[in-house]
Chains A and B, each alone.
Chain A
Amino acid sequence: MNESAPGGLSRLTVHESIDRLRRREISARELTDAVIEEIDRREPTIQAYLTIRRDEARREADAIDRKRMAGEDLPPLAGIPIALKDNMCTRGVRTTCGSRMLDNFIPPYDATVAARLRGQGAILLGKTNLDEFAMGSSTEFSAFYPTANPWDPSLVPGGSSGGSAAAVAADEALVALGSDTGGSIRLPASFCGVVGLKPTYGRVSRYGLVAFGSSLDQIGPLAKDVTDAAILLGAIAGFDPNDSTTLPWPVPDYAAGLGADVKNIRVGVPREYFVEGMDPLVKQAIETSVQQIASLGAVVDDLSLPYTRYALPAYYVVAPAEASSNLARYDGVKYGYRARGSDYWEMLESTREEAFGPEVKRRIIVGTYTLSSGYYEAYYLQAQKVRTLIKQDFDRAFETFDVLAVPTAPTVAFPLGARIEDPMAMYLTDVCTVTVNAAGLPGLVVPCALVRGLPVGIQLLGAPGSEETLLRLGYAFEKSGDWKARQLS
């Protein structure tokens, strides 16, 4: 890496920075300044952040440097500048969820992930943009402004964690956290050319994550490489007494296992994910990457997951139903926006009408409809049964295979404005990602090729708790060649 080139230290990965900080070749302040410089240079175009903590971040970096100079023992991520998606509560730092509803909300507590990263010495640069309440696939439904794709600012970064993905891709953060309810980490990872990991449901605490679809939501990293994703997962995973859905499983050293052999890992390729209307070059990019994985010694074979096509309709029943219920809490009473009203009921209805944006209202309407008397069994109950079938499909597949390799999305990043007026077109963007949330599985996206100059990520899926295997295979694939050199046009 050429440190005198534009970007300088901001281009380092987390693991490179940890090494250099420990050897005292660089200071936390120098690293933080370099990233803030990059933020100042690129934010006018990219708009990845909703809140930036320039002064606080610099002060925290100085405090780390003083401790290091004094010879104190420092935690693993000491001095690493990170970003959090703005749906994770940060004590004393505005948390908007991309909504007018929470424009001025200052949480009185930290989400567990925020507390853990702070405890590990990470420096919070700021809070990143998202589709309002994480509902969307392009980050255009942010109530504040859209985020641009760093590869081409006329394109969307994907969503809903578009701000986190764009920040990492543009060197405006070393690493970031996103949340994934139906693909919101993995889709922007693919569109922005970064690594994205949606962990097993229950692997990472959701305490302090603003709730969207509670049986689907999961927090995970967006990173410059697989090693960084492994380090971050290790930092945030594990049981949390404040989230009763966290799994009581031990947390392995994910980064330590990365170099291990991938020979004889059994990789399945379910044909159903290569959907009708898919960009032929994206299809070619995934197929070429699967061959590359085979050349590493993995055993590759096709398989069928017959219920795959029913996952998207089931998802667009379950997620809005849970959302409509979760968002009932925004009533203008305890926190957030309040509209005027001559009585409580008028205040309540006007608050929700004025402060929720179009996609959030649409999901509340759909969710309320499918849960309402007379429709519950035809839609919500049926969707829950379809969820069982999808889970059983995967259970059978994982008797034969360790990993499934599939596309992340049928296309590369699309132009800003292209799908915002057409809800069904936007929903279909998620066709390759929602299955994992429905079944609670982990999914890792690793950049694999450039199609007409734009990044494409391959998605690796595994059984619950198989993050180590996914990361190991993802790492071997990443090391097998420069993905930017694989160009299709």
Chain B
Amino acid sequence: MKISLAEVDHIATLARLALTDAEREQFRDQLGQIIGYVEMMNQLDTSHVPPSAQVIALANVVRPDRARPGFPVDVALANAPERVEDFFAVPPVLEDE
């Protein structure tokens, strides 16, 4: 199956991956190969088959809606790449005009 570079770029944007040029070409070819292979499924007429999202006989498992203790702030932030006071810090999301 043929996949275009434009399609790879669109997918990379959705997946938030800044691919290199070499990767774009590699994934174009490999995505084509993999999709070409999985296409085999479409030989089957499944119009009357229900989909399975999961395969165990459990549904709508709930627990009591009660507050439980969580991590103290320092523990929750211990792995943060950047911390400011008691918050995770990130670079600007919106331009500061």
A residues 375-397 touching B (CB-CB < 8 Å): 378-379, 381-389, 391
A423 is an interface residue with CB less than 8 A from chain B = yes
Report the Cα distance A123→B62, complex, angstroms: 34
Also in contact, A336 and B55, with CB within 8 A (given A313-B38, A361-B27, A386-B46): no
Contact call B31/A365, Cβ cutoff below 8 A: yes
Q: Which residues of B contact A341 (CB under 8 A)?
A: 91
How many residues of A are counted as interface, with CB atoms below 8 angstroms from the partner's CB atoms? 70
Contact call A317/B49, Cβ cutoff below 8 A: no
B residues 27-79 touching A (CB-CB < 8 Å): 27, 30-31, 33-35, 37-42, 44, 46, 49-56, 58, 61-63, 71, 75-76, 78-79
Also in contact, A202 and B58, with CB within 8 A (given A106-B79, A314-B41): yes
Report the Cα distance A173→B29, complex, angstroms: 41
Of A313, A364, A439, the residue contacting B41 (CB under 8 A) is A313
A residues 304-341 touching B (CB-CB < 8 Å): 307, 309-310, 313-314, 316-317, 324, 328, 331-338, 341
Q: Which residues of B contact A328 (CB under 8 A)?
A: 16
A356 is an interface residue with CB less than 8 A from chain B = yes
Contact call B51/A388, Cβ cutoff below 8 A: yes
Of B20, B31, B41, B75, the most chain A CB neighbours within 10 A belong to B41
Report the Cα distance A142→B62, complex, angstroms: 37
What's the A-B contact tally at a CB cutoff of 8 Å? 175
Q: Which residues of B contact A378 (CB under 8 A)?
A: 42
B6 is an interface residue with CB less than 8 A from chain A = no
Of B18, B27, B52, the residue contacting A362 (CB under 8 A) is B27
Report the Cα distance A365→B19, complex, angstroms: 11
Contact call A352/B18, Cβ cutoff below 8 A: yes
Q: Which residues of B contact A424 (CB under 8 A)?
A: 33-34, 37
A464 is an interface residue with CB less than 8 A from chain B = yes
Contact call B88/A365, Cβ cutoff below 8 A: no
Report the Cα distance A368→B82, complex, angstroms: 29
Contact call B12/A365, Cβ cutoff below 8 A: yes
Report the Cα distance A345→B13, complex, angstroms: 11
Could you list which residues of chain A lie within 8 angstroms of chain B, going by C-beta atoms?
A: 104-106, 108-109, 201-202, 215, 241, 244-245, 247, 307, 309-310, 313-314, 316-317, 324, 328, 331-338, 341-350, 352-353, 356, 361-362, 364-366, 368-370, 372, 378-379, 381-389, 391, 423-424, 427, 438-440, 464
Q: Which 4 interchain pairs have the tightest Cβ spacing?
A: A335-B79, A384-B51, A338-B81, A440-B55
| A–B pairs, 14, beta carbons within 8 Å | A201-B56, A344-B91, A344-B93, A350-B18, A353-B18, A365-B15, A366-B31, A368-B14, A387-B51, A387-B52, A387-B55, A389-B44, A423-B33, A424-B37
